[in-house]
A and B are shown apart, each in its own frame.
Chain A
Amino acid sequence: MSEKIAPFHLAILIYMIQSGVTLYKLPRMLAVNFGTNGWIMVLIVSFVAGINIFLISLVNRFRKGESVFEIMEGLIPRKVMAPFYILLALIWSIFALLVGKDYILITQVLTFQNSSLLLLYSIVLILAFYLVVKDIYTISKTTTIFFFLTIWMTFLLIYHIPYSSIMRLTPFIFKEGTHSIRGLIEVYTAFLGFEIVLFLFPYIDQKKPKWFLSVYVGHIITTVVYTLTCIVSFMYFSFEQLKLISFPVLNLISYVEIELIERIESLVFNLFLMKILITVVMYLWAAKLLLHRGMPSMNEKWLAPILILVAFFITLRVDVVYELAPWLLIFGFAAAGIAIGLPVLLLFVLWVRRLGRRRRHG
């Protein structure tokens, strides 16, 4: 069996990395930052992220089979790049653990008010460790199963359509929002995850020449899920209500009643752990690759534990939601910067190397 990731699985992987707890807060973020009909910004921000993905596709086109590391080290020696790799690994591993902590804090508020945060958090980290030490092919297979176990939740939105009203959208577009750059970047962080594909190049089954389209497909799935969720939220809640509810999507799910089960949100929100786990694992996996490249002498089996432990201790003091918010903001911005800057940097390096080759040959 080919041990490479097929395009179908790549699309699912991209969607699962991107989709996270931000979905639960997204309608409020849009309402606060962009005002009425703020859901339109999902499409605009998605388009911007699409341009970012296009830059990555250009890297793929011009790399001629080289990996990201080979591209960089073709111009800058490995020893010089090592601190950059280690810094990147650290940022991504901290970001990954913050995403996991965000989920656990919400879970604690919902169900385990008296339980130790450390216990719950440790369980998630153990799960992440159990998966991140596997090879990327196993991670992608696991992701596909998680996708099938979670995608049905999107259809719960159908339940709210009879109770939604187009009048609640209001005829105004982008009124009463803060319209800040910060808000824009916050929404942009909801789409982060596609940049991991830079490190997946050597592991993808590239028999089909248009395999990169699957990255767009994954991104489109994310956009569709976000857009539908936000539209329904804007139509279900009033605009003022939406600005005040911390997790509107959680409230949406709590109104779903099926004959046999009520208050399904406790089950649905817990299933979300699968999506969070993939986000955490993939960022850790990329961080592992970076750390291995930056410190090749380190034994590979210690990379994941070291990254997890270092990030764990750095984020140890953060144990309530309002303390976590600024951390997520800072590291979210950093991750967004990496997502935008890294492909640009790679394209620049490729261009410089191409110039150098032209000069050498003639």
Chain B
Amino acid sequence: MGVNRMKGRTTKLLHKLKELKQEAVEKDHSASFQKKVTENFSGCDDLVQRTFPELNITIIYFLHMVNENLLEMDLLAPIYHASDETSLPFLKRSNFHKTDDEKKVIHGILNGEAAVFHWDRAYLINISGPKHREIQPSETETTITGPHEGFVESSEINLSMIRRRVKSPHLKMNEIPVGEVSKGSVFVLHIKGIANDEVVGDMINRIEKIEIDAVYDAHMLTQLIEDQPNALFPQFMLRERPDAIAAALVEGKIVIVVDGSPSVIISPSSFFDFFQTGDDYYQRWITGTATRLLRFGAFIITIGFTALYVSVTTFQYEMIPQSLLTTLAGSRSKVPFNPLYEALIMEITLEFLREAGARLPTKVGQTIGIVGGIVIGQAAVQAGITSNVLIIVVASSAITSFVVPSYVMSASIRLARFGLILLAGLLGNLGIVIGVILLVIHLSSLTSAGAPYLAPLSPFFRKDWVDFLLRAPYSLMKTRPALPRTSNKKRKQ
């Protein structure tokens, strides 16, 4: 009997030893998993690590990435109320996600989640709430009529604004990580059943293939996924307004939201899309049409007016009406330069003014712009560097360049204008025509996500002309545009 008692005691001792060993191993594993995670953040003084030894819990998070209210309510409060480590029921709540993937834990902490370590287990809870700019009207896309709110840098807020406007379960969203170092997120949205699946797949594929350290803005992303990144003109439009994005989605286009950027990419886009604004659609169709035609007229003036001045005053004086000829000849008589140099000097000076005005603080910039424009213009005429007719020409070109709604397109047109001025100075009207030919060939060869860039003009899509040069009444806009290659052509379905 004594032997049996000894045997029993030995078995119990061995069992206890085993449990203690198991506990030691678990502690060791848990410590090593947590250690592996925290080692990745060594040197990050903004990382908060709080240990609750009585509960064997360690929580890790970035204080400036989390929402303080959620931190208190969802994480710290339950911890304070827990009595011992055996009763931690809050870890079983649905907002705590268990994981043993080190990379997932690191990614979660970087995205504003808090990691909770308990023994060998890790849990992630989403209490993300980094500080961000409040929703405000867009500074680059102002509107007189229509909604005023614009996108912000937070992709969550941007996606919520889009979802509020397109309340459809068919609005699909694919999240794609971009940036080897920054680990940013890019969201591709489309409406299933309207957007062309092949085009969606192609856009996702292009984004997945990006190999870069970081993408800071949507403008940067477009240059990485465009069909022809070396082209003069942008191939994807960027808008900062949710109503414009909703309209694009409903037409069958794909939109791309970049986390950290208030601009959203629309694909595909044609050359003429860059001349449309929301005001065209919110005003009456006659007014909208007139404004749109005005914009196209402004495009012609901005690209060709200075070149025409140079051509006419250098080679084709006979084109000027006789009544204007004496005035022009008189104003040019004091100018020592030939019209080409004169025009280039003034155009470049205006570009300096414009760039300086954009870089200076708002109040100072406006003053410099106005004073600089008036003073330089007046002084240049009085000094005999330019003629006053050229001041009017250059000023008209500059003003009309800002009529183009898209800043990126406007910048491309300004560059093209310099080319035309040079050609006009060398070959007169023939030079302008050669410049136009080169531009047309270049534009015709461009595509946007595989779709022709000059649609609906060339190729000629007759039905799309209701929303091209004119903004026809809504009753006439029965079909979706051909550019997105949607199979679901009829609107209202």
Contact = CB atoms under 8 A, between A and B. Distances in A.
Contact of B430 (A6, A111, A138, A263): A111
Given A111-B428, A134-B445, A274-B433, A262 B319 contact: yes
B450 A1 contact: yes
A345 interface: no
B131 to A, nearest CB: 45
A266 B432 CA distance: 12
A145 B316 contact: no
Interface in A116-174: 120, 123, 127, 130-131, 134, 138, 141-142, 144-146, 148-149
Contacts of B252: none
Contact of B319 (A107, A138, A267): A267
Nearest to A263: B318
Q: Most A CB atoms within 10 A — which of B429, B434, B444, B485?
A: B444
Contacts of A267: 316, 319, 429
Given A134-B445, A144-B460, A123 B434 contact: yes
Contacts of B214: none
Q: How large is the interface on B (under 10, 10 to 19, 20 to 34, 35 or more residues)?
A: 20 to 34
B407 to A, nearest CB: 25
B437 A273 contact: yes
Given A1-B485, A138-B444, A271 B457 contact: no
Contact of A266 (B429, B441, B458): B429
B460 A8 contact: yes
A69 to B, nearest CB: 26
B224 interface: no
The secondary structure that dominates the A interface is helix
B451 interface: yes
A270 B315 CA distance: 13
A23 interface: no
B430 A273 contact: yes
Interface in B198-228: none
A273 B459 contact: no
B262 interface: no
A284 interface: no
Contacts of A259: 321
Interface in A260-309: 260-264, 266-267, 270-271, 273-274, 277
A264 B322 CA distance: 14
Contact of B458 (A9, A262, A274): A9
Nearest to B430: A270
Interface in A224-272: 259-264, 266-267, 270-271
B17 to A, nearest CB: 75
A107 B485 CA distance: 44
Interface in B416-475: 427-430, 432-434, 436-438, 440-441, 443-445, 450-452, 454, 457-460
Contacts of A270: 429-430, 432-433
A144 B319 contact: no
Given A111-B315, A141-B444, A262-B320, A148 B430 contact: no
B459 A141 contact: yes
A149 B436 CA distance: 10
Contacts of B315: 111
B319 A1 contact: no
Nearest to B485: A1
A141 B430 contact: no
Q: Most A CB atoms within 10 A — which of B430, B459, B485?
A: B430
Contacts of A134: 441, 444-445
Contacts of A141: 444, 452, 454, 458-459
Interface string B242-266: 0000000000000000000000000
Interface string B300-323: 000000000000000110111110
A119 B451 CA distance: 37
A123 B443 CA distance: 20
Given A1-B485, A259-B321, A130 B454 contact: no
A155 to B, nearest CB: 18
Interface in A1-33: 1, 6, 8-9
A116 B86 CA distance: 96
A266 B433 contact: no
A9 B457 contact: no
A259 B458 CA distance: 32
A148 B465 CA distance: 14
Interface in B309-343: 315-316, 318-322
A153 to B, nearest CB: 13
A142 B433 contact: no
Q: Most B CB atoms within 10 A — which of A6, A134, A264, A271?
A: A271
B7 to A, nearest CB: 86
A145 B454 contact: yes
Contacts of B454: 141, 145
A135 to B, nearest CB: 9
B367 to A, nearest CB: 36
A1 B451 contact: yes
Q: Most A CB atoms within 10 A — which of B315, B427, B459, B485?
A: B459
A274 B439 CA distance: 12
B158 to A, nearest CB: 30
A123 B445 CA distance: 20
Q: Most A CB atoms within 10 A — which of B437, B438, B450?
A: B437
Q: Most A CB atoms within 10 A — which of B443, B450, B460?
A: B460
Contacts of A145: 440, 443-444, 454, 457-458
Nearest to A271: B433
A273 B437 CA distance: 9
A144 B457 contact: yes
A259 B323 CA distance: 10
B304 to A, nearest CB: 11
Contacts of A123: 427, 434
Given A1-B451, A1-B452, A131 B441 contact: yes
A15 to B, nearest CB: 14
A273 B441 contact: no
Given A1-B450, A270-B429, A270-B433, A262 B321 contact: yes
B458 A6 contact: no
Nearest to A147: B458
Contact of A264 (B319, B430, B443, B451): B319
Nearest to B445: A138
B272 to A, nearest CB: 12
A63 B430 CA distance: 43
Contact of B441 (A6, A120, A130, A271): A130
Q: Most A CB atoms within 10 A — which of B441, B443, B451, B452?
A: B441
Given A138-B445, A145-B457, A262-B318, 14 more contacts: A6-B459, A107-B430, A138-B441, A138-B444, A145-B443, A145-B444, A148-B457, A149-B436, A259-B321, A260-B321, A264-B319, A266-B316, A266-B429, A267-B319
24 contacts: A6-B460, A111-B429, A111-B430, A112-B430, A120-B430, A123-B427, A123-B434, A127-B434, A127-B437, A127-B441, A131-B441, A134-B444, A141-B444, A141-B458, A142-B440, A142-B444, A144-B460, A145-B440, A145-B443, A146-B440, A261-B319, A270-B433, A273-B434, A273-B437
Kindly list the 10 A-B residue pairs having the minimum CB-CB distance in the complex, ordered from nearest.
A144-B458, A142-B444, A141-B444, A263-B318, A141-B458, A270-B433, A270-B429, A270-B430, A145-B440, A138-B445
